[in-house]
Structure 1
Amino acid sequence: MSSIAFMTQAQEYMFTYSKLFSHLKQNVKQGHEDVKVGLFFLNADTKKNCVIQKAWMEKEQHYEELKTTRYNELLLPLDDNLKSANPLVFVRTPQDQRCDFSMVVMTKQPLKGTVSYTEVEMLLPQMQVMLEDLGGMFASWFTPDVEGVTLEFQGLVDGQVEFSNGKTKPIVNGKAQVALSDIGQGGSMILPQETSRVLPYLPRAD
């Protein structure tokens, strides 16, 4: 999905801005009000987000540091002028870890407290459309249906999500997969803490 040069000794990843721009432009499309494309680096062994120690753009004499979130999402400005200039984007991660580039569809805002069936229901078609848009012309033929959300919690290894119908769903290694049908129409779910990421749940994906 991306052109990546990986230099083992420096543990730095290098991209061209224009390549990332082509994916991130989905974030400003109409119909994607609550979801976005997020850029992360995933520890190949633990499958947890790698710490981004430093990230920056450079071209000739121009240099600009990039921001990240507390959940180690790379924040890249969306700018047509930058696309034309096409600087190189560098990301530095810990030397003792192998980190793979990870581009995900996720909600723009975390979920917390009591979350209603309607709130989750509203996210699913947006996630579906964005996955298909990222996949290209024929993606709607092959993209599995988004049937719920994958909830990720930072610092929480195990626990449970509670539903208003009395059922529960376990949180394993900081993650729980919740189908819309688990919540039930008119129902809600109670989260033990604010999510770090909310991703699509694709139970029929191979």
Structure 2
Amino acid sequence: MKKWIGATTLSLLCLALPVKAEQYRFTYSKLYYQLKVNQKEGHDDVRMALFFNDSQTGKACQITKAWMEKEEHYEEFTIPSNQELTLPIDDNLKSANPLVYIQTEEGKQCDISMEVLANQRFDGSVSIKELKELAIQMDAMFADIGGMFSSYFMPDVEGITFVFGDTVTEAVKLSNGKDLSLKNGRATVSLEKYADDVRILLPAEPLKVTPWLAK
């Protein structure tokens, strides 16, 4: 089944689609205007990313195929292991405005989600100080998303969440002897609780490193 997503229904947060769908179709410009915040300065180590998440579990749906086309022009996307739709941000493509198609695994209802992610790959360990510096850039990204006035009402980034694949079950360990248990494949670090020199010891490379927002 094909589902057309109009300009008024795509948001910066999660959008629940009311039907089970296997193929989604967008105009390129709809996605461009959501992702162009990545072109602004001040948050080079983080990005806005596009995912399709399982409406039941919140985990990324498997994208089986994604491409864009305009008349005789066709380009297929390579999907990384974290299932991000890596759409190029290009003014010429915005002008041409091709159609973008995404196919997800059969029988699952997937929600479109725009997420702020760290660009860096984390493997082994990372210090609280490094994560605090990353959180500052995430706050800057949210300020750009919110705009001049609504940015005052955007939540603060108080921590960092590591998202792991299904095969990872081991707790995330801290150098001070404490553990962070996994919940639905996620471990969240509240940055204010720990000194800058505490290190996070990762059991595997995370699929995503995302902000944890204040309630």
The correspondence for 1:191, drawn from 202, 205, 214, is: 202
CA gap of 1:87–1:161, structure 2 versus 1, over 3 A, is same
1:135 Cα shift? 2.6
Q: 1:28 aligns with which of 24, 28, 39?
A: 39
Q: 2:117 aligns with which of 78, 88, 106?
A: 106
User: Is the CA contact 2:21–2:109 (under 8 Å) kept in the aligned structure 1?
Assistant: no
Equivalents in 2 of 1:23, 1:16: separation in Å? Answer: 12
Following the alignment from structure 2 to structure 1, what is the Cα–Cα distance between the partners of residues 156 and 18? 37
Which 4+ stretches in 1 moved above 2 angstroms? 6-10, 135-139, 155-159
SS at match of 1:75: coil
Q: What SS is found at the alignment partner of 2:47?
A: strand
Q: Of 69, 73, 82, which aligns to 2:80?
A: 69
Aligned to 2:68: 57
Q: Deviations over 1:121-153 (max 9, x none)?
A: 110111111122223342322111101101101
- Going from structure 1 to structure 2, the CA distance change for 1:114 and 1:60 (only over 3 Å counts) comes to same
Q: Structure 2 length as normaliser, TM-score? A: 0.87
- SS in structure 2 at match of 1:171: coil
Aligned-residue CA RMSD in angstroms?
Answer: 2.0
Please state how far the C-alpha of 1:10 moved relative to its aligned partner: 6.1
In the comparison of the two structures, how many residue pairs are matched? 203
Identify which range, 69-78 or 59-68, moves more after superposition: 59-68
State the identity as a percent. 47
Which residue is 1:165 aligned to? 176
Q: Give the AA of the match of 1:68.
A: I
Contact 2:60 2:83 in 1 (8 A): yes
Q: For 2:155 and 2:20, locate their aligned partners in 1 and report how far apart those are by CA, in whole Å.
A: 38
Q: State the Cα deviation string for residues 54-105 of structure 1 (Å, max 9, x = none).
A: 1111122222112211111111111110011111111011221001111100
Specify every segment of 5 or more residues in structure 1 that has no aligned partner in the other structure, as ranges: none
Q: Structure 2: 5+ residue runs without aligned partners?
A: 1-8
CA deviation digits over 1:162-183, x for unaligned, max 9? 1122222111221011111243
Instruction: Look up the equivalent residue of 2:159 and give its one-letter code.
Output: G
